[in-house]
Every structure is written in C-alpha cells, then in structure tokens.
Amino acid sequence: MRLMIVGALSGQLTLATKIALDRGAKVVHAETTEQALKHLRSGRGADLLMVDVALDIRDLVRTLEIERIHVPIAACGIDNDARAAVAAIQAGAKEYIPLPPDPELIAAVLAAVTEDAGDFIYRDDVMARVVKLAAQIAPSDASVLITGESGTGKEVIARFLHQKSHRADKPFISVNCAAIPDQLLESELFGHEKGAFTGAVSRRVGKFEEASGGTLLLDEISEMDVRLQAKLLRALQERVIDRVGGSRPVPVDLRILATSNRNLSEEVRKGTFREDLLYRLNVVNLKLPPLRERPADVLELAGYFVRKYSEANGIPLRTLSAEARRDLQRNRWSGNVRELENTIHRAVLLSTGSEIEPDDLMSPDGERIEAGPQNPASQAAATAEAATRTLVGRTVADVERALILDTLSHCLGNRTHAANILGISIRTLRNKLNQYTVEGHAVPPPGAESRGGIAG
C-alpha cells in the first residue's frame, strides 16, 4: 500500500502519517499538489492520496484526469468543518477523514483501498484448479495470458499472481487498453517527453516505467492497435522502451500480464493481432470459467457481497432466503461475477425484511432476475447445500450418505460428475456406493449416466 500525504506535515497530519506507517503503508510526503504531481509523473506512483482539504482538490482532480493518472483521493480536515468536507467530496475526493485522525478510521480507509483491488472468493472445484495453476506459476517471471468472458475476475487473478510473486512489494499497474484512445495509449504505456505533441507540457513517465520492478497488467489487450503491438513486442523482447519524442531507450524490469475476452488465435487469423506477440504473451494461459460453470461459487460470492454492501451502507446484515438462493443458482449470469455483485448490491439496498427475498433480486431495469431451469451441476450444488442445513439429530454417517445419494441422483447417476462436486475421488465414491448397496439403500444405477448424455 503506497500512501502519499499532501499538505503541511505538522501536528495532525504527522499523526496520520504515523498511524498509516503502523498499519503497514509505505508513506511519502508532498508539501503541495505540484510536488505530488511531480512525484506521480516520475512513475513512482501511489495507491492513495491523503490531501489537506485546504489545498485545491478540485484542480488536483482535474489535472489527474487530464494526465490520465488514476489514484483515489481522501481529503483531510478539521472535524467540525462540514462545508469543507462537502466541497471536497463534490470536487472528486472519495473519502473525507476528519482530523485529528482516528486510528480505526485510517485503517478502514487503507483497507477499503486494498479491498478495491479485488477480493478473491471461490469455492468451486473448477475454479480451484485455475487457482492452483496460478499459485504454481506466480513465483516465476513468465508472461501470462488470462482469458475468459467479461466479469469473470481476470484482473482479480492478475493481482493474485502479483501478490504471490517475488515482486509483491513492488507496484502493480493496470492499463485498460480498451478504455484509452489509440492515439493516447502509446503515451500512456511508454510516456512522453515535454513538447512531444500538443498538450505535452512536461515529461511524463509511462506505465512501463511506473511498473518497473513490479507487474504491468495490459487489460483487454486485443483492443490494442496493430502498430502499437509492434512497439510492445520490442519492449517485451528487449526490456527497453522508447518514450514518445524521446531520443534514447529506457531499460525496464517488470513482469507482463495480459487479459482478453476474445479468442486471440482467431484475432491472429483475422490479422488484427500479431502472432509473434501472442506467442510472447501466452507463455502460460489461465482460462477463467464463466460463473455458470462454477455453481458452488454463486452462493459463496453472494454471501460475501451481502456482507460487504451491508457494511458499506450501514445496513443490518440480512441473510438470503431459501427462495432467493434458489433463484441465484438458476440464473445464467451472462455478466458473470460483475453482474452477480451488482445484483446483490441492489438487493441489499432494496430489501426491508430480515431476509433478502427473490423480489429484491432485480435487474438494472427493475425486473426480477430471470431464474431459468437449473443445470445438473447447479442443482447438485443446491442439493448439497440444502443437506447441510438439516444436520441436527443425525449422525455423520447418515448426513454423508444423504449428501452423496442426493448429489448422485441430481447428477443423473453420473459417478464422475458427482465425485467432482463432492470433492472426493471416483474410487472413494464407488466404495461408498458399494457399502450403501450392501446396507440395503437405493443407489441410482450407472445406467442413468447414458440417459444424461455424460460419460462417467
């Protein structure tokens, strides 16, 4: 966590610095907004600016937007100056911290910024395999291509790779290639010299230099212009970059991660993506499955988002009703985790009872989410979860048998699929089923697998 405190370093701001340091933040100080901008332009970066409310926050926000420097601002001021607090938020500050600073409030703000980097929540075996591979390759410096539909969590797993690498204490810089016009993306990535083009009023260090020592994520790289892809390829191969308008190469040391929601091999065939760049990026491919193929993750994520947004909005924590849980598992989630998060956020705000009900699960246009028929995997996950809610008064063996047989039934007798959902080996499952048959319990026959169209 890189914190920059901007303003007179005396009294209360000095205390804020000490609190942040005690909470593990790396703190730098700038007396003025100009000093702060100079620091940011140099590529040293920051994850949060804590700015004295007496400074011109509006002008600082505007300058950061013009120069495309993305960093949240928390304004600081005396606790009884409500007018200054309102003005700071209206100017673009994300938070207002009253002074003298409260240690727990400082900790909460730092934690919120860290949390915004993305929380990694999963439970499904399908996702667990991706995480296992990510953890295995994280310590290396190999380039990684992360693919998957929009909203599946590509940036989240990119941050996971960074946090598990030997570069974890260095910057993690993300650039959305789809959000920046082609004519500006080159300057954004490689920086520019003063006067390199109209509006270049000073030298600007690009994201490659800012990320040097750490990790650079090129988000939605398929949207990058082919001409710029050639310059990127040189940077990857030679570990040097050329600033726009510069006269000499600049060495960089960083790891490159890239994401795409498109099939880059198909883009190569269409001529919109360089084949040599694909080979350079795709040393390892992490393919994130869509949420509809991760049924066990749906309720795990939903519960997390309920807690997160209840706390964020000061709302008493509510639980998801059985009917709401059913509808969540039946939805196809075409927008994946991002759509689920937005749906739960709305539900937390709309619900009025002790539980979140199906009527609270609304789409952005005010319609209830569409709960279609469950696929076998979602149905089995729901069955397994339902079994765990009726444990009192039953032995472990009884609960285990009910869970295994119900899951197998909803998998249409498919032993392999049921074993995957239950998290046990196929051999263990077959031994259990043989035991249940001997004990006289009805076991779905393997023949049901052919009727379900799945080979066990």
Are residues 186 and 59 part of one domain?
Answer: no
Are residues 134 and 9 part of one domain?
Answer: no
How many structural domains compose the chain?
A: 4
Are residues 132 and 91 part of one domain?
Answer: no
State the CATH number of the domain containing residue 313. 1.10.8.60
State the CATH number of the domain containing residue 24. 3.40.50.2300
Are residues 336 and 219 part of one domain?
Answer: no
Are residues 209 and 278 part of one domain?
Answer: yes
Domain boundary among the residues 239, 262, 287 is at 287
Percentage with pLDDT > 70 across the chain: 85
- Is residue 148 very low, low, confident or very high in pLDDT (cuts 50, 70, 90)? very high
> What pLDDT is attached to residue 85?
81
> What pLDDT is attached to residue 386?
47
Question: For 313-338, how does the pLDDT look when each residue is reduced to its tens digit (9 = 90+)?
Answer: 888 888 899 999 999 999 999 999 99
Would 121 be classed as within a structural domain? no
Would 388 be classed as within a structural domain? yes
Are residues 303 and 241 part of one domain?
Answer: no
Are residues 177 and 102 part of one domain?
Answer: no
Would 367 be classed as within a structural domain? no
Domain boundary among the residues 287, 322, 342 is at 287
Domain boundary among the residues 235, 266, 287 is at 287
Alpha helices by DSSP H, 313-425: 322-330, 336-350, 376-387, 396-410, 415-422
Mean per-residue pLDDT, 284-296: 93
Mean per-residue pLDDT, 134-141: 93
Question: For 73-105, how does the pLDDT look when each residue is reduced to its tens digit (9 = 90+)?
Answer: 888 887 666 778 888 888 888 888 887 777 777
Mean per-residue pLDDT, 114-136: 78
Mean pLDDT of the chain: 83
> Where is mean pLDDT largest: 185-199, 301-315, 325-339?
325-339
- Is residue 449 very low, low, confident or very high in pLDDT (cuts 50, 70, 90)? very low
Would 365 be classed as within a structural domain? no
Mean per-residue pLDDT, 28-44: 82
Burial classification of residue 172, based on how many CB atoms lie within 10 Å of its CB (0-12 exposed, 13-18 middle, 19 or more buried):
buried
Are residues 173 and 242 part of one domain?
Answer: yes
Instruction: Give me the domain span that covers residue 407.
Output: 376-452
Element (H, E) at 58: helix 57-66
Question: For 154-182, how does the pLDDT look when each residue is reduced to its tens digit (9 = 90+)?
Answer: 999 999 999 889 998 888 999 999 888 88
Element (H, E) at 136: helix 125-137
Would 148 be classed as within a structural domain? yes
Angle (nearest 5°) at CA 142 between 137 and 144: 80
Are residues 150 and 110 part of one domain?
Answer: no
> What pLDDT is attached to residue 198?
62
Cα 40 to Cα 91, 125, 216, distances in angstroms: 20, 42, 16
> What pLDDT is attached to residue 220?
94
Would 397 be classed as within a structural domain? yes
Are residues 107 and 59 part of one domain?
Answer: yes
241: which 2 tokens?
């970059």
Would 122 be classed as within a structural domain? no
Name 380's Cβ contacts closer than 8 Å, sequence gap at least 6. 295, 407, 410, 411, 417, 418, 421
Would 371 be classed as within a structural domain? no
Amino acid found at 182: D
- Is residue 218 very low, low, confident or very high in pLDDT (cuts 50, 70, 90)? very high
Are residues 320 and 407 part of one domain?
Answer: no
Question: What CA–CA distance (Å, rounded) separates 41 from 201?
Answer: 12
Are residues 156 and 97 part of one domain?
Answer: no
